[in-house]
Amino acid sequence: MLAAIWAQDENGLIGKEEKLPWRLPNDLRFFKQMTEANTLVMGRKTFEGMGRRPLPNRQTIVMTRDKNYQVDNVIVMHNVEEVLNYEKENDGIVFVAGGSLIYKEFLPFCSILYRTVIHHSFEGDTYFPELDWEQWSRINISQGEIDEKNPYAHQFETYQRKESKI
């Protein structure tokens, strides 16, 4: 199964200079909880913005047009079809984890969306692509706790594609 996972501010902002424009440990914990023991697919810029190293306990696929791109302990792929074939041949969930162009390419194939909405407006340069919300049903919502380490109101939302039967 293919799923997208992302955090955004109230304007759909998802990044600033290849990094998250906020610090929200609750969201990082949610991301870890959802993606561990599964596969992450992300673009090269997103991967390099994370320090050019795979996250523990996850298989990482890096998408790039560069046919010579190589990194230890990750799978490098060059097009959507390669990832879709990987998803069919392997167990677990393949989580699309950014950036904006990667989300746009994979959203038509996703069955589930995991979105964290941060109720604040940040400065940045990368936005989540347009999404036809008529195709999706929200199946879960939970409020994140605000504390000294998580200063912004936020919520975790899960959506299922309406024609999806899981």
Residue with tokens 């199964």: 1
Give strand pairing partners of 63. 43, 77
Q: Report how far residue 113's alpha carbon sits from residue 156's, in angstroms, rounded to the nearest whole number.
A: 10
pLDDT for 81: 98
User: Over 80: is that where the pLDDT of 90 sits?
Assistant: yes
Three-state DSSP at 16 gives: strand
The residue ranges of every structural domain in the chain are 2-161
Q: Report how far residue 31's alpha carbon sits from residue 52's, in angstroms, rounded to the nearest whole number.
A: 18
pLDDT for 96: 99
Name which of 30, 50, 35, 49 is nearest 154 in CA terms.
30
For domain 2-161, give the CATH number.
3.40.430.10
Residues 6+ apart with CB under 8 A from 5: 31, 34, 35, 95, 96, 97, 113, 114, 115
Global pTM value: 0.94
- 121-130 mean pLDDT: 97
pLDDT for 163: 79
